[in-house]
Amino acid sequence: MTQQYQEVIIPISNQPEELSEILIAQLAEIGYDGFLEETHQLKAYISADEFNQQALTNLLTPYELVASINTIEKQNWNILWESNFSPMQVDQFVGVRASFHEPIKGVKHELIITPKMSFGTGHHGTTYSVMKLMEPINFKAKKVFDFGTGTGILAILAEKLGAALVMGVDNDPWCIENAGENVQVNNCKNIHLALSDTIAITNQYDIVIANINRHILEANMLLFPQIINQDGILILSGLLISDELDMIELCKKHGFKHEQTMTKDGWVAIQFSVK
């Protein structure tokens, strides 16, 4: 049977600009993993099996918003993405495109990301900011953990920057499938993918990247210190600007030092070192 998804269309005309970003963060926390931001509406996507009408209603009611809902087939999602997906760049550092786009010239690294249901094409402020933070970091021969790998975009970039081993983890089988395809297309050899909703503490890493959401980051905060080497780096994202100070304080309590914050479109990515 073909897998189905619910397309939730939320009207955001005459609403504050930041509301779209707030809704994406809140929807992600209840299982939505695909988003399209349009001029007058936000489209969010979730597996039909995971869709909960009451949870959606509870989320939208405080904003006095009512969504319309469509059912779409999995294969139609690819067509939808292709019609909305355009190449992007992070300065001259990295370019991200789909296989059907022309090569991007003038960038150090080019990533080919198939625009499927998984979150992470570089366009969103969180992914963009994490890539900006990654640029000056020395990845040569390092072990990297990518928690919430999505499309695998950050894991792929880590290998292109010289990582010797990258472990990418996600709790969505569709993400692991999609990331695996992207790993192959980008000719990566050092990336391992695993389906999991938590962090295994059996290995230690030099660099840990977690671009998910505040709820999951807080739930796993006790585990981060157990997997990072003494001179390691922790990058957290999927956070709104309003989350920054709370997350910095929480990380300080667990042995991390705030190094810098990158901000884009109302979202932040925060870099920490081990105290």
Per 3-state DSSP, what percentage of the chain is helix, strand, and coil (rounded to 5)? 30, 30, 35
What whole-number distance in Å separates Cα of residue 156 and Cα of residue 130?
13
Residue 9 has pLDDT above 90, yes or no: yes
Predicted TM-score (pTM) of this structure: 0.81
pLDDT in tens, 239-261: 888 899 999 999 999 999 999 99
Residue 76 has pLDDT above 80, yes or no: no
Q: How confident is the model at residue 1 (pLDDT cuts 50, 70, 90)?
A: very low
Residues pairing with 271 in the sheet = 235, 260
Q: In this structure, how many other beta carbons lie within 10 angstroms of the beta carbon of residue 13? A: 7
Percentage of residues in the chain with pLDDT exceeding 70? 91
Residue 125 has pLDDT above 60, yes or no: yes
Residue 136 has pLDDT above 70, yes or no: yes
Residues pairing with 82 in the sheet = none
Q: What is the pLDDT of residue 81?
A: 63
